[in-house]
Amino acid sequence: MRMTTGWQAAGPAALRRVPLARRDLRPDDIAVRVDFCGVCHSDLHALNAYDQDAKAPLVPGHEFTGVVSGTGPEVTAFSAGDRVAVGNIVDSCGVCAMCEAGQENFCHSFPTLTYGGTDRQDGATTLGGYSREYVVRDAFAYPLPSGLDAAAAAPLMCAGVTVWEPLRSLGVGPGSRVAVAGLGGLGHLAVKMAVALGATATVISRTQDKRDDARELGAHDLIASTDTQRMAEARDTFDVVLDTISAPHDLAPYLKLVATDGTLSLLGYLGPVTVEAMDLLIGRKKLSSAGSGGSPATAEMLQFCADNGISADVEVLPSSQVDTALDRLRRNDVRYRFVLDMSDLD
């Protein structure tokens, strides 16, 4: 075993610093010294749901960047010292139709999650990136293109690819009219990516408070969802509406914004929803969802971001302040992603 240090759940809202064991390197494994790990809404959900009596420990964190610190004997794609990025899946079956298609995120026998997953070989519970070292199969680590800041790039690996796949699969490009509902970790990256793809982007937010921020991110407009007149005027005008709101909410106002044959893609809240069929019928509208990304899309997204100067707007905190980051994320007090600097774990 390789020993490292990390932040482990010690109750529903608290983490404590503990020694962690990582597996010895398998032939196709790399060890990554984790430098920066983003704080995702999923981490909050996992901690909220954590049962102190659970047998398996919980170490969150599934969007991180770092440097290769060791390689197994069969690894050819990476060498010690290479900058790498790892997202929210670290293995898959490799043989099902989804894996064959490069959509390991939809693996028919479920992808291995970066934390809280079950390792396919030894059955161990995976422990996440809130730690100084991570061991991962080389196929699920990505070279971090030069030009991308390691801290600001970390959130690309979950928040980024989660909005990138739907933008690409829905054909967003020059002339597309995109609305982004919710301006948080996912939403702010969706705006940047949509604009860089040539689309016009409009932010839908509860109030006008984020108007200036939206403009700075490249959005062409902001519509307050509470402004019934503007919402009515915007009816049927967006080819794609990316809904990144993480709390349960009524989809009807957002479906009304979708243009004929357009799509509402639900990315933030992934629980049960209620839809009036008439809201789809009128305008032949489509409701879809997406999550995470397959390996080709993830690599493509990183290169696109490097080529277009896109990364997350981050607030970097020492990892010892992880509780502060989680508390503030819980209150939506973040613009737009917390990233933990893991160097204080040495």
Which region, judged by CB under 5 A, interacts with Zn ion, from 46-54, 75-83, 98-106, 175-183? 98-106
Residue 245 has what DSSP assignment?
-
Smallest gap from Cβ 154 to Zn ion, in A, equals 11
Asked if residue 107 binds Zn ion (CB under 5 A), the reply is yes
Smallest gap from Cβ 95 to Zn ion, in A, equals 6
Smallest gap from Cβ 42 to Zn ion, in A, equals 4
Buried b / exposed e along 209-228 (16+ C-beta atoms within 10 A): ebbebbeebbbeebbbbebe
| Local structure of 19: helix, strand or coil | strand
Cα(332)–Cα(325) distance, integer angstroms: 10
Smallest gap from Cβ 114 to Zn ion, in A, equals 9
Among 8, 92, 105, 126, binds Zn ion (CB under 5 A): 92
Among 4, 8, 42, 131, binds Zn ion (CB under 5 A): 42
Among 13, 67, 77, 96, binds Zn ion (CB under 5 A): 96
Asked if residue 334 binds Zn ion (CB under 5 A), the reply is no
Which region, judged by CB under 5 A, interacts with Zn ion, from 5-13, 92-100, 205-213, 338-346? 92-100
**Which one-letter amino acid corresponds to residue 242?**
L
Q: Which is nearer to Zn ion, 107 or 214 (CB)?
A: 107
Asked if residue 325 binds Zn ion (CB under 5 A), the reply is no
Cα(106)–Cα(96) distance, integer angstroms: 10
Strands 83-86, 64-71: parallel, antiparallel or unpaired by DSSP? Answer: antiparallel
Which region, judged by CB under 5 A, interacts with Zn ion, from 87-95, 166-174, 245-253, 334-342? 87-95
147-166 residues in contact with Zn ion (CB under 5 A) are 158
Whether residue 336 has a cis bond before it, omega within 30° of 0: yes
User: Considering CB under 5 A, how many residues would be counted as binding Zn ion?
Assistant: 8
Asked if residue 99 binds Zn ion (CB under 5 A), the reply is yes
| Local structure of 192: helix, strand or coil | helix
Smallest gap from Cβ 111 to Zn ion, in A, equals 7
Cα(290)–Cα(166) distance, integer angstroms: 6
Task: Give me the sign of the Cα torsion angle 85, 88, 93, 97.
Answer: negative
Length of the chain: 346
Binding site for Zn ion (CB under 5 A): 40, 42, 92-93, 96, 99, 107, 158
